[in-house]
């Protein structure tokens, strides 16, 4: 019932407090699996519990409203202006982000938002796309793929591939370099980016994967360790999976669970980052290991003091922003200092 501007002001005030005061509010340090939770992450979790603390909800629309409301509290944008415009990416709605002063012929990131394939959208990940555009010095095409349960698997994967292939074919009209097109996304969006890396006829030049959902068939140890209390819960993931892919037999499809693909050898060079206190940690890291075993250049990074969803939390500063900044640097380097660019 509190208006978003009031909540935003409260968040800024609390996170601006001295460390000892924040510790009093957050409680005793949390240590689990040899990791210590970042103070600001713990503080945010404490405040999130005041609003219920779960991404899933009794109805899909309630869950969508909850995520939109939560993101409205984190509306900070980078200082460098970013121009946006709506784009029809081969029949899939999308939004193009272009930082001020970025010359034509820049690299392009095709980005897929998180939200369990059920919630989330262009607006919930607007600040993330702006940050990546500015700090990686790239254009970003954010894709509004169809959501479940209105459009179940494989609708999202079809949209993800279609938007990427349209972006490659039309890079020139976006003032982007057709030989430097990356895919990226967080959580469910990381899953879709991985699927594009597997299925696209013209493979991406780089993949930026934030804590991707990689396997819908197995509950690994991290699902047990961090089942509740760390933003994304085990129950949330079950709720998302059941809405997205209710057909149990299809969950083993590589287009649903890219970790189960037989051959990963053609996958693009990758920066894959997980969060230490995240139910999806172990499956993301298993995917990184499989990429390395297949000979794919992969930088696997665990931000061991953070939680799922940290990319959306960067406006709070601290470790959230540090982690996203590191990923932006990896994207910038991967697209500009990687293997020789293919032509055409």
- Active site residue ranges: 187, 278, 308
Nearest to 194 by CA among 156, 230, 222, 246: 156
Whether residue 260 contacts residue 283, with contact meaning beta carbons closer than 8 Å, is answered with no
- Angle (CA) 29 31 36, round 5°: 80
CA separation for the pair 231, 320 (Å, rounded)? 14
Count other C-beta atoms under 10 Å from residue 169's C-beta. Answer: 12
- DSSP assignment of 35-99, as one string? EE--HHHHHHHHHHGGGTS-S--SSHHHHHHHHHHHHHT-----SS-EEEEEEEETTEEEEEEEE
Q: Which two tokens stand for residue 153?
A: 């698997």
How large is the greatest C-alpha to C-alpha distance in the chain, in angstroms?
A: 58
- DSSP assignment of 207-225, as one string? EEEES----SS---HHHHH
Whether residue 339 contacts residue 77, with contact meaning beta carbons closer than 8 Å, is answered with no
Q: Which residues contact 138 (CB under 8 A, 6 or more apart)?
A: 102, 106, 107, 108, 109, 132, 182, 331, 332, 335
Whether residue 63 contacts residue 70, with contact meaning beta carbons closer than 8 Å, is answered with no
């Amino acid at each position: 019932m509190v208006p978003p501007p009031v909540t935003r002001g409260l968040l800024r005030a609390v996170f601006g407090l001295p460390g000892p005061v924040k510790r009093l509010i957050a409680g005793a340090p949390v240590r689990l699996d040899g990791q210590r939770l970042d103070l600001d992450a713990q503080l945010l979790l404490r405040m999130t519990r005041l609003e219920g603390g779960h991404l899933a909800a009794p109805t899909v629309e309630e869950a969508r409203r909850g995520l939109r409301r939560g993101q409205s509290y984190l509306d900070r944008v980078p200082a460098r202006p970013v121009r946006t415009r709506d784009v029809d990416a081969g029949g899939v709605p999308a939004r193009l982000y272009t930082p001020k002063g970025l010359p034509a012929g820049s690299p392009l990131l095709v980005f897929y938002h998180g939200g369990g394939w059920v919630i989330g959208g262009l607006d919930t990940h607007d600040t993330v796309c702006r940050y990546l555009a500015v700090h990686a010095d790239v254009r970003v095409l954010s894709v509004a793929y169809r959501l479940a349960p209105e459009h179940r698997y494989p609708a999202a994967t079809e949209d993800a591939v279609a938007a990427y292939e349209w972006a490659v074919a039309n890079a020139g009209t976006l003032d982007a370099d057709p030989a430097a097109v990356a895919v990226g996304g967080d959580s469910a969006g990381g899953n879709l980016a991985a699927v594009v890396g597997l299925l696209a006829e013209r493979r991406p030049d780089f993949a930026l994967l934030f804590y991707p959902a990689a396997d819908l068939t197995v509950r690994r140890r991290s699902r047990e360790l961090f089942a509740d209390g760390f933003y994304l819960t085990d129950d949330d993931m079950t709720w998302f999976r059941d809405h997205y892919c209710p057909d149990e037999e299809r969950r083993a499809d590589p287009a649903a669970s890219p970790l189960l693909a037989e051959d990963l050898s053609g996958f693009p060079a990758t920066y894959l980052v997980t969060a230490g206190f995240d139910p999806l940690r172990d499956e993301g890291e298993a995917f990184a290991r499989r990429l390395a075993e297949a000979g794919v250049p992969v930088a696997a990074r665990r931000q061991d003091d953070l939680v799922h969803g940290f990319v959306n939390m960067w406006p709070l500063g601290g470790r959230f922003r540090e982690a996203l900044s590191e990923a932006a640097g990896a994207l910038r380097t991967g697209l500009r200092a990687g293997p020789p660019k293919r032509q055409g």
